[in-house]
Amino acid sequence: MISGDDLYSVMCAMVPLYSAMLVAYASVKWWKMFTPEQCSGVNRFVAVFAVPVLSFHFIAHNNPYQMDAKFILADTLSKAFVLALLSAWCFLLGGRLEWLITLFSVSTLPNTLVMGIPLLKAMYGEFTQTLMVQLVVLQCIIWYTLLLFLFEYRAAKTLIQTQFPGQTAAAITRFEIDNDVISLDGRDPLCTDSEIDDNGRIRVRIRRSTSSAAPSSSMGITPRASNLSNAEIFSINTPHEFGFGLRPVSPRLSGYASSDAYSLQPTPRASNFNEFDIAAAVSPPPPTGRVFRQASPSVKMVWESPAEAHGFSGDVYEKDLSFRDCAKIEVREGDAATNQEMPRALVMLKLILTMVGRKLSRNPNTYSSVLGLLWSLISFKWNIGMPSVVKYSIKIISDAGLGMAMFSLGLFMALQPRIIACGAKMAAISMAIRFITGPMVMSAASVAVGLRGTRLHAAMVQAALPQGIVPFVFAREYGLHPDILSTGVIFGMLVSLPVTLLYYILLGL
């Protein structure tokens, strides 16, 4: 039975977090203390330092040799079951990949780091912190990587369907991606150059439209500043299509800004598939081959003989691609009847893994999670303590992590014109999936693997936490239902406390 003291302990843990969020909200909404530029600076600190260091702190102090196998298995089984069910619906019953990704994010990826650790610790004791940290490790290293893979797969399919409709794509044998192309999410306009040999095999080069390199070469690329903001999970820069009324305030100063969660620049960009083709000079192809360039969406092809190519004759077409509004792209009737084919699975896999690797390499949470796990393996294996100067340097930043994360979320909420961005009906559906379906699936998986008692209760409450913020960052970057995920983050934070308290009380009866 839950006593009044138990409820008071939970409130003591959660009210300070919500207080930080409320102060930030009031500072922007009512007191006008922060401008959007200043909010962006606060969120840069949270994204690049506070949250990654907080993750490292928790993971590094967790003993990986005493992990709860049943708890981890239950969490993995629940996520795998949902993913398998959605995959069957998508690939066998004609469902859409876009909804597979969104529903998987909403139903299985809660905000475990910021909300789960303090809440579960107050409800069920110190041992739950270890359980939550174990789930954080799995989320950062496995599930967020898998989610990123799905987003890149969708972006690659969109690129291929628009640039190589019908059976053309089946002839693609190789993708070459310039070094300054970080992702296919379309945040930066992309160009494709295609070369075809005498055997009909196509080689595709993907590059940024601003790249100064020759179209048929990947050399000479100007390196781009490291983009760390893939993990900018509390950035308040707002997308243009939400209608938030924010004007662009400054040019992008570094590669950090290329994946801001909410860019102050007018993004997501409207899809520019219908822009005019841009003429460009062509580098000579190999003497034995012929080259064509094709533009989206009407697949304009210009064939060149080797002699013409050496003389730089003929028209060449390039096309800027932007996938910010891919979710809204409608296939024309003529295209719908075309039997769309895709490149071989190995070619697609290499393309997607390349993009995923580049995104992860610029994500500070990736490094913090992996380094934290490596240190914990070494530390608890050989009983090696962290040097005091390093330990306290990390601690002073990580101590600010939870409060700054909630403060940053409050800044984001204050800059939104409305809390429910996707409409009342869709918000109700997403909340039902988040707070009812998620815990039900988790409870079934937990019972199936033999979890009982307090650990079962902790598993169910953990599944009822508010929407994770990293999935929203990905949704925003790839232009896939960001309004639904934004509502899940903001509205979910407001209703999660009473919902989790209700679960806590009912499970304690």
Q: Mean pLDDT throughout 210-229?
A: 40
273 within 8 A of 330, measured Cβ to Cβ = no
Of the ranges 186-190, 263-267, 322-326, 334-338, which is most confident? 186-190
pLDDT of residue 210: 61
Characterize 246-273 residue by residue with b for buried, 16 or more Cβ atoms within 10 angstroms of its Cβ, and e for exposed. Answer: beeeeeeeebbbbbbbbbbbebbbebbb
Cα separation, 106 vs 468, in Å, equals 8
Cα separation, 462 vs 435, in Å, equals 10
Report the SS3 class of residue 338. coil
65, pLDDT greater than 60: yes
Mean pLDDT (the chain, rounded): 77
Q: Mean pLDDT throughout 385-402?
A: 91
Report the SS3 class of residue 110. strand
Report the SS3 class of residue 176. strand
CA 404 centroid distance within chain: 21
32: phi > 0 → left, psi -120 to 50 → alpha, else beta; which?
left
Query: Domain spans of the chain?
Result: 162-358
485 within 8 A of 103, measured Cβ to Cβ = no
Range of weakest confidence among 144-148, 224-228, 409-413: 224-228
CA 375 centroid distance within chain: 26
Cα separation, 482 vs 488, in Å, equals 10
Strand 317-318 with 278-279, pairing? antiparallel
220 within 8 A of 234, measured Cβ to Cβ = no
Structure tokens at 113: 């780091």
Nearest to residue 53, comparing CAs of 337, 383, 398? 398
Q: Which residue has the tokens 């993995």?
A: 76
pLDDT level of residue 441 (50, 70, 90 thresholds): very high
Residues in CB range of 118: below 8 A, 6 or more apart:
13, 14, 17, 402
Report the SS3 class of residue 290. strand
CA 430 centroid distance within chain: 18
pLDDT of residue 53: 94
DSSP code string of 177-204: E-TT---SSSSS-EEEEEEE-TT--EEE
131, pLDDT greater than 90: yes
* pLDDT tens per residue, range 111-127: 998 899 999 999 999 89
Structure tokens at 451: 């979890």
Nearest to residue 151, comparing CAs of 423, 412, 472, 421? 472
477 within 8 A of 154, measured Cβ to Cβ = no
3-state secondary structure 348-368: HHHHHHHHHHHHHHCCHHHHH
* pLDDT tens per residue, range 132-181: 999 999 999 999 999 999 999 999 998 888 888 888 888 888 899 988 88
* pLDDT tens per residue, range 74-87: 999 999 999 999 99
158: phi > 0 → left, psi -120 to 50 → alpha, else beta; which?
alpha
317, pLDDT greater than 60: no
Q: Mean pLDDT throughout 363-368?
A: 90
pLDDT of residue 393: 94
* pLDDT tens per residue, range 171-193: 888 899 988 888 888 777 888 88
Q: Mean pLDDT throughout 436-454?
A: 95
206 within 8 A of 175, measured Cβ to Cβ = yes
pLDDT of residue 6: 86
Structure tokens at 393: 């340097």
CA 258 centroid distance within chain: 13
Cα separation, 357 vs 368, in Å, equals 16
Of the ranges 105-114, 190-199, 297-306, 410-419, which is most confident? 105-114
Q: Mean pLDDT throughout 411-424?
A: 86
Q: Which residue has the tokens 């940024």?
A: 208
- Could you tell me which residues are beta bridge partners of residue 192? 206
265 phi and psi angles, rounded to 5 deg:
-70, 160
pLDDT of residue 100: 96
pLDDT of residue 73: 96
Cα separation, 454 vs 115, in Å, equals 19
Range of weakest confidence among 320-324, 354-358, 498-502: 320-324
Cα separation, 393 vs 180, in Å, equals 34
pLDDT of residue 162: 84
pLDDT of residue 381: 93
Nearest to residue 121, comparing CAs of 25, 6, 220? 6
431 within 8 A of 81, measured Cβ to Cβ = no
300, pLDDT greater than 60: no
